[in-house]
Amino acid sequence: MQFDNLIHGKLIKRYKRFLADITLDDGTEITAHVPNSGAMTSCIEEACDVWVSHHDNPKRKLKYTLELTKMGNELICTNTGVANKIAIEAIQNGVIKELQDYDNLKPEQKYGNQNSRIDILLWNENSDKECFVEIKSVSLNLGDTLAFPDAKTTRGQKHLEELRDMVTEGHRAVMLYVIQRTDKLPFRIAREIDKKYDEIFKEVTNQGVEVLVYQSDINHQEINIVKKINYTY
């Protein structure tokens, strides 16, 4: 996925979760939208390098969106919505080998009994068995591992349970974690942050929910999923 002419700046502060004040290189101070509801631990700090995109849509209240940050030598894509876009591209380009050989792919499809939407639905015309793929963006660095979640997530817990329901109904269900930072580290569930999520994760994976973890390659021009990495308990 290509970024559209990112603009460099320095973070002043992030606040109210979805707002960040930034000083651009030309001295202009802006407020950018932060498309990330998580804690963003290990992703952002005062005076860190950031890159924003600019949007001319007159309906937008904020013209800038925070896309990338830099911590140490590592680039991080903090826009969680990017994970779905690059996952779809990676499936269509054959990068995610485990999700090939399906005739159809549709994003954001209603499913289950709780009025939910699955990130990606895959299916073949000649089969009643569908493949439900839930995607999570991973940006938390715990020092020796990357991890998810970075804050307690009842919504994430529900997603795991809904995937298990699909397995019970005879379908395939996949939890896809997309690493959106350039650190080369293994991945695990952050049990110390959300014990309940960890418990449900272990339950549903023992009951047939599959887990895939894929690493992204990031620069200031583009971000793409490039390879599968291991995860540990």
CATH code of residue 224? 3.40.1350.60
Do 38 and 140 share a domain, yes or no?
no
Pair 210, 172: CB distance under 8 Å: yes
What is the reported pLDDT for 116? 86
Q: Does residue 53 share a domain with residue 134?
A: no
Q: Computed from CA positions of residues 118, 162, 42, 230, in that sequence, does the dihedral angle turn out positive or negative? A: negative
Q: Does the predicted model carry a pTM greater than 0.85? A: yes
Mean pLDDT computed over 27-37: 97
When divided into structural domains, the chain yields a total of: 2
Identify whether 1 is part of a domain. Answer: no
- 137 and 87 belong to one structural domain: yes
Are residue 41 and residue 123 in the same domain, yes or no? Answer: no
Provide the domain limits for residue 117. Answer: 82-232
- Asked whether residue 150 falls in the same domain as residue 226, the answer is yes
Beta-sheet strands, E only, within 126-228: 131-138, 140-141, 146-148, 172-179, 187-189, 210-218, 223-228
- CATH code: domain of residue 47: 2.40.50.580
Residue 207: both structure tokens together? 């009951």
* More confident call, 26 vs 113: 26
Give residue 167's pLDDT: 97
The predicted pLDDT at position 71 comes to: 97
pLDDT (0 to 100) of residue 106:
97
Residue pLDDT, tens place only, 131-142: 999 999 999 999
pLDDT over 90 at 112, yes or no? no
Based on the fold, state whether residues 40 and 139 are members of the same structural domain: no
Distance, CA of 179 to CA of 163 (rounded, Å):
20
How large is the average pLDDT for residues 30-52? 96
Beta-carbon contacts of residue 3 (< 8 Å; ≥ 6 apart):
51, 53, 67, 68, 220, 221, 222, 223
Residue 132 shares a structural domain with residue 196: yes
18/94 same-domain check: no
Does residue 28 surpass a pLDDT of 80? yes
| H or E element at residue 106 | strand 104-111
Contact between residue 78 and residue 44 where contact means Cβ atoms under 8 Å apart: yes
CA dist 82 and 169 (Å) reads 30
Residues 136 and 215 reside in one and the same domain: yes
